[in-house]
Amino acid sequence: MSHAAQAYARTSHTTGSPREMEAQTLLMAARKLQEVQANWTGPDTRMHSALLFNRRLWAIFMSAAESDENPQPMEIRQNVASIAVFVMKQTVEMQLDPDPAKLKSLIDINCNLAAGLSGRV
């Protein structure tokens, strides 16, 4: 691929709609968690890195849901905040008692939300 085509590809990924960027980031987090689950060798830096990425992403969603400037209806904001709290609890549980089966709920949440944001539900 030419340098121009590579630059266009990078730009097209960064200039999508906010919903599409959120969906892509959720899928990225899900892929990281799936990789850990599929190649489980016990708790390691890959696991901690994937959990950290996912936790940071959900911290952003929680912060946005709590923001007074958020234009979404209160019910949606509360739902996002509730999911974020669940994700945080699951992450802590995974860190305290690592088990690849515990990643399934985090992966499913990310994939389902990404599908909803992309209109693929």
Which candidate, 24, 51, 23, places its Cα nearest to that of 35?
51
Alpha carbons 35 and 86: distance in angstroms, whole number: 21
pTM of the model: 0.83
pLDDT of 46 reads: 97
Summarised one tens digit per residue, pLDDT across range 62-100 is 999 999 999 999 999 999 999 999 999 999 999 999 999
Token reading at 75 = 């019910």
Is it the case that residue 17 has pLDDT exceeding 50? Answer: yes
What are the structural domains, with CATH classification, of the chain? 18-117 (1.20.120)
